[in-house]
């Protein structure tokens, strides 16, 4: 890649402020690895974003062999301007906000149904006490992932399947099994362990496949185990739980946000139906810096909830 500072004038209009901030972050941290840690991303992902910037500029920005020199001539030129522009823009934005007397920034969170959403709201609120919170639920994980990409959300509590093929930053929170709700007096009893085969011949309520993608994996697991449960479906978690409790039949859902009274819950031991709960955000999202601590708190909360759920009725 040619190292020609004059090429900057041909592509400068296409550069975005957040791309310039990458160079400033690398310079302030003294390297890509340290900058990635400060930005809440990985060195590989940060290097990829810098390479994209290099393609836009048409020249290398980071020295191939640092040896005391972090940037190329072009990189130093761009950094010089970025170091002036970025603080100036931040000051301009602060002044504009103050002049308009805008309310405090609002943090927008989207989440799939999960009992640990209140803990996420609490953790984010504790770390951003001056910000308002807006919560978005009732959509699929894929829809919320797209909302993150459109910058309609700042943080998402989603399923891994929804983010794996999308250009989002994400970290895993917990592996989540499906759980079987056993109403009082059910002939199955309350065994310590349940597999798909154990549900053969039993009446079960599941979430419709259009609402819960894991239902497809569960049906495949029943087939693999030679199990033949008597199935019916509902279109929301609450409808499943009410139908199961009211009719005295088994329910198979993600860990419920509102467990039914006198119902015992047991994890379904089937790796194919497990799901990974993740925290996801867009590149340069405003919450990237607090994600590690929020993630740790969420992982603990999820484990505590599962333990409490299994002990809910013994």
User: Which is the CATH superfamily of the domain at 106-173+275-305?
Assistant: Periplasmic binding protein-like II (3.40.190.10)
Q: At 35, phi and psi to the nearest 5? A: -65, -40
Fold equal for 106-173+275-305 and 179-273: yes
pLDDT score at 65? 66
Q: What is the pTM of this model?
A: 0.62
pLDDT score at 117? 92
Is 201 within 8 Å of 228 (Cβ atoms)? yes
Average pLDDT value over all residues in the chain: 85
**Assigned CATH topology for domain 179-273:** D-Maltodextrin-Binding Protein; domain 2 (3.40.190)
Per-residue pLDDT at 235 exceeds 70: yes
Q: In whole angstroms, what separates CA 122 from the centre of its chain?
A: 16
pLDDT score at 291? 87
pLDDT score at 1? 43
- β-strand partners of 250: 204
Identify the weakest region by mean pLDDT among 5-19, 114-128, 163-177, 254-268: 5-19
pLDDT score at 243? 92
- Looking at 166-223, which runs of residues are DSSP E strands? 169-176, 179-182, 203-207
Domain definitions of the chain by residue range: 5-100, 106-173+275-305, 179-273
Per-residue pLDDT at 97 exceeds 70: no
Which residues neighbour 273 within 8 Å (Cβ) at sequence distance 6 or greater?
A: 177, 178, 214, 217, 218, 221
pLDDT score at 3? 42
pLDDT score at 68? 67
Rounded to whole angstroms, the Cα distance separating 72 from 96 reads 35
Tokens 């690895």 correspond to: 33
Per-residue pLDDT at 101 exceeds 60: no
pLDDT score at 91? 77
pLDDT score at 242? 93
- Mean of pLDDT values over 226-246: 93
What architecture is domain 5-100? Orthogonal Bundle (1.10)
> Within 13 Å and on the Cβ side, how many CA atoms surround 282?
17
Per-residue pLDDT at 17 exceeds 90: no
- Tokens for 94, please give them: 């602060």
């Amino acid at each position: 890649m040619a190292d020609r500072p004059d090429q900057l004038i041909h592509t400068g209009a296409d550069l975005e402020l957040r791309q310039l901030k990458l160079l400033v972050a690398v310079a302030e941290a003294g390297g890509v690895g340290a900058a990635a840690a400060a930005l809440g991303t990985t060195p590989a992902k940060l290097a990829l974003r810098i390479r994209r910037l290099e393609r836009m500029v048409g020249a290398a920005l980071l020295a191939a062999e640092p040896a005391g020199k972090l940037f190329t001539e072009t990189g130093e030129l761009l950094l010089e301007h970025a170091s002036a522009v970025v603080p100036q823009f931040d000051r301009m934005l602060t002044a504009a906000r103050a002049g308009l007397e805008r309310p405090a920034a609002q943090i927008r969170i989207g989440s799939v149904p999960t009992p640990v959403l209140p803990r996420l709201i609490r953790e984010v609120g504790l770390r951003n006490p001056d910000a308002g919170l807006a919560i978005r639920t009732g959509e699929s994980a894929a829809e919320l992932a797209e909302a993150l990409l459109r910058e309609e959300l700042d943080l998402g509590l989603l399923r891994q399947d929804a983010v794996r093929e999308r250009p989002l930053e994400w970290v895993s929170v917990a592996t989540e099994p499906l759980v079987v709700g056993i109403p009082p007096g059910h002939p199955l009893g309350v065994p310590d362990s349940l597999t798909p085969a154990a549900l053969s011949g039993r009446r079960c309520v599941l979430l419709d496949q259009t609402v819960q993608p894991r239902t497809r994996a569960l049906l495949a697991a029943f087939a693999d185990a030679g199990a033949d449960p008597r199935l019916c479906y509902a279109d929301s978690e609450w409808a499943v739980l009410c139908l199961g409790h009211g009719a005295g039949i088994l329910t198979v859902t993600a860990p419920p946000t509102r467990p039914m009274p006198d119902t015992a819950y047991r994890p379904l031991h089937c790796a194919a139906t497990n799901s990974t709960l993740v925290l996801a955000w867009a590149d340069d999202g405003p919450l990237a810096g607090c994600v590690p601590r929020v993630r740790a708190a969420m992982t603990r909360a999820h484990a505590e909830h599962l333990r409490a759920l299994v002990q809910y009725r013994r």
